[in-house]
Structure formats: C-alpha cells, structure tokens
Amino acid sequence: MLRVEKNLSTNSITSYKTDLKRYINFLFNKESIQDLNSIRQIHIRNFIRHLNDQNLSSASINRSFSSIRSYHKYLSSEEKISHNPTQLLEPPKISKKLPKVLSIQEVDVIINSVKLEEFMGYRDKAILETLYSAGLRASELCALEMNNILFDSTMLRVVGKGNKERYVPLGSKAIKLINEYCKYIRSLLINKKKTDGNVFLSKNGKQLTRMTIFNIMKKWTQISGINKDISPHTFRHSFATHLLEGGADLRAVQEMLGHSDISTTQIYTHLDNEYLKEVHRTFHPRA
C-alpha cells in the first residue's frame, strides 16, 4: 500500500519497517501481546514511554507514533482488527529544534578545502557545491541523472519525496565544477553495466549512497579545520537560511526545497530571528 498507493520512496518504506518491527517486538516481548485485537491505548503509551527511556529524539518518537497510527488505520480499513486503538490518541509533543547551519564563510572554507589534485577531488568539490547551490537532500543528489541537469537554462530537475518533481536553479560555480568533473573524472568511471546515467559515481562506477555523501562531507570538513558535527542536511539548512537572510521570498524557498507545507519552511524564519537576536546581543550597548 505504501509503495503502490502512496508512492513512498524506498527510504520512507525502510523507516516504516524499522518503526513497526520495533513496535511489534515490544508488544510481543514486553507486553505479551499475541493478537492484534488485544492492543490497547495503554500498550501504545507504554511503547512511547519505552522509546523515551531509550533517549530517542522527540522527532524520532513522533515519527514512530505516526508509523504506528498509519499501521492501525490500515489494519482497521482492511478489517483485520475490530477497533483502532490510536483513534483518540494524541501524538507526543515534539520540541522544534532549530537546525544547525553554517555561515557563508564556513561553507566557502569547506568547499575550498577540497584538493582537486586528488583523484576524486573534482567529484567531491562538485558534490559539495551542488548540495549547497541547490539545497538538495543527499538522496536526491545520489539519484541525480545527467538528463536532470538542464545546462542551457542552468536548472536542475529534482525528483524528491513521493516522486514529486521540482525545478531548482543551479549556480554558475556548481555548473562549472560539474562540467570539469564530467570531463576529467566521470568519463573514466562510466561503466554501462553499473550505471543508468547517474551524475555522481563511486570509484567502481556505481551510484553513490547517502552514507558515501556523508563521509565525503565529513572528510573535507575535518580537513578544512571547522570543528562542527555536520551532515549533508546541514548544507541544505544553510542554503535555505542564507537565501532568507538575503531577502528571498518564503514561498520561493519552499518551492526550491520541495516542502509540501510552508510551515516546514517557516522554521528557517525562526532561525533568521535567532541570528538577529544574536547580532543584537553581541553589538547593542544595552543588550
């Protein structure tokens, strides 16, 4: 149902599987539940409390609850259970944490730390520049294909969550680096048996994984001397924040990020306010 009717990505389906496996294991081993119809609200509350005791983040706990609620809704609609125990349950309160962002200078330092003389230098620099230039998710960058780059119009065609398509402008620096990477490195990596036209390839000519992107970013961040724990999503957060700080329209940023709900994008306006308050505290004589 998730794959065919809701058209969810492989990553989303994997998350559902992880959440529900943990839930079922808890019910079976801790609550001695043998039948789906025996599940009550108290059991779900106990499971949420169990997740909290495991020191999971509020976002992870909320996602697990959402998976459980979707699961019971499905079971009910398919008449596999006689009642839905999640129907009147309120989701756990989630504390909105402001995402970590880098300054413009820090982004420059990380990207410029990439050594082009290394075999994968052109690829790595093009990856970092593209992540920041277009605000892509790591999974979107991994899936990016050559025909998704519209060089003439300097745009990217991005397939995001739920296979939703969007178009994002691509900066001149990113285009230049992609061209150089394709000329010097990608042409050596192409193996028709292993790639379907992905832009960024591994040393073996295969499509990159999200973990590879994370490791690339970690490597060059450490080399740059910036002592921060960052991920590919940090570049995405920085992309959105720097646009809004520069005066970009919230709706335009929402479109570029591929957010279906503008409230998701609005967290970056809060971040901008935090930046303003920090400037005020630092420089105002009576702060």
Q: Give the tens place of pLDDT for each residue, 243-262.
A: 988 888 889 999 999 888 88
C-alpha distances (whole Å) from 268 to each of 141, 230, 242 are: 22, 17, 9
Choose the catalytic residue: 43, 157, 173, 233.
233
Q: Is 181 a catalytic residue?
A: no
Domain ranges of the chain: 10-77, 104-282
Cβ pair 175, 168 in contact under 8 A? no
Domain 104-282 has CATH 1.10.443.10: yes
The alpha carbon of residue 100 and the mean position of all alpha carbons in its chain are separated, in whole angstroms, by 13
Question: Model confidence over 171-218: pLDDT tens digits?
Answer: 999 999 999 999 999 988 886 556 668 999 999 889 999 999 999 999
> What is the band of 275 on the pLDDT scale with cuts at 50, 70, 90?
low
Question: Cα separation of 237 and 12, whole Å?
Answer: 20
* The pLDDT value given to residue 22: 96
Choose the catalytic residue: 72, 123, 125, 137.
137
Q: Is 236 a catalytic residue?
A: yes
* The pLDDT value given to residue 28: 95
Choose the catalytic residue: 186, 236, 237, 242.
236
pTM: 0.68
Q: Sort strands 155-159 and 165-169 into parallel, antiparallel or unpaired.
A: antiparallel
* The pLDDT value given to residue 95: 60
* The pLDDT value given to residue 195: 62
The alpha carbon of residue 251 and the mean position of all alpha carbons in its chain are separated, in whole angstroms, by 19
What is the distance in angstroms between the CA of the first residue and the CA of the last residue of the chain?
55
Backbone angles phi, psi at 219, to 5 degrees: -60, -50
* The pLDDT value given to residue 120: 95
> What is the band of 97 on the pLDDT scale with cuts at 50, 70, 90?
low
Question: Model confidence over 24-80: pLDDT tens digits?
Answer: 999 999 999 999 999 999 999 999 999 988 888 888 899 999 999 999 999 999 999
Question: Model confidence over 8-32: pLDDT tens digits?
Answer: 888 889 999 999 999 999 999 999 9
Q: Is 286 a catalytic residue?
A: no
Q: Which tokens in the block code for residue 214?
A: 């994370």
Choose the catalytic residue: 125, 186, 237, 259.
259
Examine the pLDDT at 268 and tell me if it is beyond 90. Answer: no
Q: Is 242 a catalytic residue?
A: no
Q: Is 72 a catalytic residue?
A: no
Q: Is 45 a catalytic residue?
A: no
* The pLDDT value given to residue 164: 85
Choose the catalytic residue: 63, 161, 173, 218.
161
* The pLDDT value given to residue 274: 65
* Alpha helices (H) in the chain, listed in sequence order: 10-29, 41-53, 58-77, 104-112, 121-134, 138-143, 172-181, 187-189, 210-224, 232-245, 250-257, 262-265, 267-283
